[in-house]
Structure 1
Amino acid sequence: MEITPEALEKIAHLARLQVAPQDREKLLESLNKTIAWVDKLSEVDTTGIEPLTHMTHEVNRLRKDKIEQTLTHEQALSQAPDHDADYFRVPKVID
C-alpha cells in the first residue's frame, strides 16, 4: 500500500491538520516508510500463536479496603492555612 498525495490531502482534511506545502513531500515519505514497516509484519508466520490481550500473566494484588478514621475533621482543618468552622478556604480562581 502506498499513500498518494491525494490520500495525504484527504487524511489531513479528516484529521483537521494544515500541512504546509514545503512539508508535504517529507510527510508523504515518512507515512509511506511507516506503512512499509507495518506491512513487514504480515511476513511473520504466526500460525499456532494465540493473540495477546496482556503482555504478562501477572495479576495485580490489591489490598482490602478498610474503613478507618485516619484524621479527625478538626485535625485536618488545623493544618489548613485558611479555614472556617467546617471547610477549607481557598482563593477564588474562576470569575
Structure 2
Amino acid sequence: MSLDAKTVTRIARLARIGLAPEEVNALRQDMGSIIDWVEQLNEVDVTDVPPMIGTGLAKPRLREDCVTDGNRRDDVLSNAPDREGPFYTVPKVVE
C-alpha cells in the first residue's frame, strides 16, 4: 500500500510528531512497508490454530474480599519506638 505525502503529514500531525518536509518521503516509504507487512499477515491461514491464553480466556484467582487488620497488632506495635497499650505514642504537636 502506498501512502501519499498528505496522508503521512496528517498522521504525523495527529501523532504530534514534528516532521520536516524532507523527512516525509522517507517516512512514507517506511510506513508503506509496515502496512504491506501487516497486510501480508492477513494471508496466513489460522483456522486450525488454537488461540493463545489471553485476557478473555484466563481465569483470575479470586480471594474473599474482606477488610481485616491482619491480626498482627503485636508485630506491628513492636516497631514503635514508644507505645501505650495497643496505640503508638507520638510527640505532642499542639500546645
TM-score past 0.5 threshold: yes
Segments of 5+ residues of structure 1 without an aligned counterpart are 79-83, 87-95
Structure 1 counterpart of 2:16: 16
1:72 partnered with 2:70: no
1:1-95 to structure 2, matched below 5 A, reads 1-49=1-49, 51-52=51-52, 54=54, 67-69=70-72, 71-73=75-77, 75=79, 77-78=80-81, 85=90
Higher-Rg structure is 2
TM-score (norm 2): 0.56
Q: CA deviation at 1:28?
A: 1.3
More strand by share: 2
TM-score by length of 1: 0.56
Question: Deviation digits for residues 36-87 of structure 1, max 9, x if unmatched?
Answer: 11011111112344555619x7766678898232742461x54xxxxx927x
Equivalent position SS for 1:68 = coil
Structure 2 CA distance for partners of 1:21 and 1:74, relative to 1, 3 Å? farther
Alignment RMSD, CA only? 3.6
